[in-house]
Structure 1
Amino acid sequence: MRIVIWGLTVSSSWGNGHATLWRGLIRALAVDGHYVTFVERDVPWYRDTRDLHALPGGRLLLYRDWAEVLAVKRELLDADALIVTSYCPDARAAAALIAAEGRGTAIFYDLDTPVTLARLAAGEAVAYLPEDGLGLFDLVLSYTGGPALDALTTRLGARRALPLYGHVDPAAHRPVPPVAMFRGDLSYLGTFAADRQAAVEQLFVGPAARRPDRRFVLGGSSYPADFPWQPNIHFMDHVGPADHPAFFCSSRLTLNVTRRDMAAMGWCPSGRLFEAAACGAPIVSDDWDGLDRFFTPGEEILLADTADDVLAALDRDDTELRRIADAARARVLAEHSSAVRAREFVQRIERARRPASAAA
């Protein structure tokens, strides 16, 4: 199958969660014999932080002007599947082009469904959505399952909405020896987001303040100067994907905190959650509806609503934490790898393919 994706970015992992997910999925698709072209606008902030310059098993098409896309549109539009994603800066133009001239299955993949629906509920414009909704697509895929799928149908006119959850590439995220600069009792990896700041303060900063003898390690970009730093919080600005395994494997326990809209809607596991589990790190996470669909609480993951819950998790002995981590890693490799998700991806596309007469 030939697949063309108009997306936010695959070339830079800076400040976004899309790139790492696409890299794992595209690698797995290539192993299965599919060919992916990823079409990405070449914007300065990703150009300056680019950590992927060629797409193994596929093609990275960078453009600075939409005319460059139109110059090769026939080649792109003849693909078997034509995909537009959330936060693609030219999503509307790509959707219109696909609707007018595309021959393959038209797909919208919302990797940010809770944010999309929350903005619509607040009366805000969502620039990556076609003005007439999602009815022009043969299939709408959502990073979020559960009630979000009904909302995509009833509010945005999706004809068929199915989940395509996050995943992890075990070749990129695996157990590795600890690294001194990442060593800690509790780690947290995530870009700064105002809508999860309260939870980060409660579940990370709060425990750090109460355990000044413990080492807490925070990695991520865009943290403001007025973040409530503690003397025992050690900060790493933008930990790149290549360093994620060492980051996760260098602490006794790692924290997952979900963005507010994602947690409120549920059924939306972050890529970081699967990455940490694949690296064999014991995880303590905030709770949300549907989490038990991906990990069994108490056996594969620890849950925390308060700082006390995090401290109780930290107080567990190493043997118990290792047992939980090993169980989570086994679950991820069996159910949530990029290879598993790539097969689901292809199955969903094949089922949604337009009849030959409709595509002619």
Structure 2
Amino acid sequence: MKIAFYGSSLLSSYWNGAATYYRGILHAMAKRGHEITFYEPDAFDRQQHRDIDPPEWCRSVVYAATEDALVGVLAEAGAADIVVKANGVGVFDRELLEGILHHAAPDALKIYWDVDAAATLDEMRGAPDHPVRAALPHLDLVFTYGGGPPVIAAYEGFGAKQCVPIYNALDPATHYPVPPDPRFGCDLGFLANRLPDREARVEEFFLKAAALLPDRQFMIGGNGWHDKGMPANVRAIGHVGTGSHNAFNCTPRTVLNVARDSMADIGFSPATRVFEAAGAAACLITDAWEGIEQFLQPDSEVLVARDGQDVADHLAALTQDRAHAIGQAALTRVLSEHTYDRRAVEVDRVLDGLRQREPVA
């Protein structure tokens, strides 16, 4: 089927953590025969920080962040069998959502794909006129990349016809073990952009652990940390392009995942970083959240921490042999159960069911 997908960016991960997810799931869907066009605005300097060239498996359309260009790309929605609006494009989000409903063909499936469902739902609770709330009666489906039963119940409570989580996963063609890179040498590495709804948890799980272990070396990658006060044993290295993620994950003794506040609260929301790290056979320490066992088994495939003291205790007790064993077990698990090819099968199963329904008016 022809899919028109309006998202933040496929080509750049710069201030755009969803890039890896888009690439993984859409590439897997393309391999299953879908013809995909991804529309992204030229905004936030993302096009100056591309990680990849336009891929062969997807038509890439980069449009100017202007009203005239918006009209042009929305007009193309009418030729698609499936029209998707992702959240968090960053410019013209309301207009894009309203536009796909207006321009999509009468028999096309209209989908909202939420890669930050907990935050979106919080916004909707506080805003009766939220554009997603207004659009739900006219959408066939909401996909999310996490959230489990709490997010499904919340979206359906707001009137979604159907809400289906399609979780982050591993693309083994892009994330895999590589030799260590001295640039990323440390005892614990952490990769994430600085965001208001994660900063307090980063202070607890990462910076507190660093302060507790002054003889260990810590490294933080991602945008926004340059002016954050940190212990002397922490090195901030700025944006790390996706092409360096494998080396980043393979070099430190351990790597850390810290969920954003909303995702930690609802659980069932493994970040892309979880699968990238596991795919590189890294020993991962993650903050505790409900549902982790659905993806990786604590103590044998991942180490789980309740606070910064737990992170420090894990790191202090961890031998190189045990770190290696945990990383290898995580790699085996995600390759067998959590690849984007498997997620694409789930997507097609849902889409096949929807195609048998009458179009939503």
TM-score normalised per structure 1: 0.92
Residues 207 and 68 of structure 1, relative CA distance in 2, 3 Å threshold: closer
Matched, 1:253 2:254: yes
The answer for the alignment partner of 1:9 in structure 2 is 9
- The 2-side partners of 1:233 and 1:91 are apart by 37
Identity of aligned residues (%): 34
Matched, 1:114 2:126: no
1:1-360 to structure 2, matched below 5 A, reads: 1-64=1-64, 65-71=66-72, 75-88=76-89, 89-103=91-105, 104-123=108-127, 129-130=131-132, 132-143=134-145, 144-155=147-158, 157-225=159-227, 227-314=228-315, 315-353=317-355, 355=357, 358=359
Structure 1 regions of 5+ residues with no counterpart? none
Structure 2 regions of 5+ residues with no counterpart? none
**How many angstroms does 1:84 deviate by?**
0.6
Tell me if the contact between 2:82 and 2:111 (Cα under 8 Å) persists in the aligned partners: yes
* 1:236-255 Cα deviation digits (max 9, x unpaired): 10010000000010011111
Tell me if the contact between 2:74 and 2:96 (Cα under 8 Å) persists in the aligned partners: no
Residues 305 and 358 of structure 1, relative CA distance in 2, 3 Å threshold: closer
- The 1-side partners of 2:97 and 2:253 are apart by 46
Cα RMSD for the two superposed structures? 2.1
- The 2-side partners of 1:131 and 1:116 are apart by 10
Tell me if the contact between 2:12 and 2:46 (Cα under 8 Å) persists in the aligned partners: yes
Residues 39 and 273 of structure 1, relative CA distance in 2, 3 Å threshold: same
- The 2-side partners of 1:175 and 1:72 are apart by 39
**How many angstroms does 1:184 deviate by?**
0.8
Tell me if the contact between 1:138 and 1:353 (Cα under 8 Å) persists in the aligned partners: no
Residues 328 and 261 of structure 1, relative CA distance in 2, 3 Å threshold: same
Tell me if the contact between 1:145 and 1:267 (Cα under 8 Å) persists in the aligned partners: yes
- The 2-side partners of 1:131 and 1:284 are apart by 36
- The 1-side partners of 2:325 and 2:129 are apart by 46
* Mean CA deviation greater in 139-148 or 193-202: 193-202
- The 2-side partners of 1:132 and 1:213 are apart by 54
Tell me if the contact between 1:91 and 1:130 (Cα under 8 Å) persists in the aligned partners: no
**How many angstroms does 1:44 deviate by?**
4.5
Residues 229 and 32 of structure 1, relative CA distance in 2, 3 Å threshold: same
Q: Which amino acid aligns with 2:143?
A: L
2:346 counterpart SS class: helix
- The 2-side partners of 1:221 and 1:71 are apart by 32
* 1:181-202 Cα deviation digits (max 9, x unpaired): 1011111111112222222122
- The 2-side partners of 1:311 and 1:358 are apart by 54
**How many angstroms does 1:72 deviate by?**
5.8
1:235 counterpart SS class: strand
Q: How many pairs are equivalent?
A: 355
- The 1-side partners of 2:129 and 2:240 are apart by 32
Tell me if the contact between 2:86 and 2:112 (Cα under 8 Å) persists in the aligned partners: yes
**How many angstroms does 1:167 deviate by?**
1.6
1:60 counterpart SS class: strand
**How many angstroms does 1:73 deviate by?**
5.1
* Mean CA deviation greater in 41-50 or 248-257: 41-50
- The 2-side partners of 1:75 and 1:125 are apart by 27
2:197 counterpart SS class: helix
- The 2-side partners of 1:252 and 1:335 are apart by 25
1:8 counterpart SS class: coil
* 1:41-85 Cα deviation digits (max 9, x unpaired): 122422232333413211111111343454465643222211111
* 1:136-175 Cα deviation digits (max 9, x unpaired): 11111112222111111112x1011111111221111100
- The 2-side partners of 1:9 and 1:337 are apart by 21
Tell me if the contact between 2:124 and 2:133 (Cα under 8 Å) persists in the aligned partners: no
- The 2-side partners of 1:238 and 1:167 are apart by 22
2:136 counterpart SS class: coil
1:217 counterpart SS class: strand
Tell me if the contact between 2:205 and 2:307 (Cα under 8 Å) persists in the aligned partners: yes
Q: Which amino acid aligns with 1:280?
A: A
Residues 81 and 123 of structure 1, relative CA distance in 2, 3 Å threshold: closer
* Mean CA deviation greater in 83-92 or 262-271: 83-92
- The 1-side partners of 2:74 and 2:113 are apart by 20
Residues 131 and 153 of structure 1, relative CA distance in 2, 3 Å threshold: closer
- The 2-side partners of 1:72 and 1:48 are apart by 21
2:290 counterpart SS class: coil
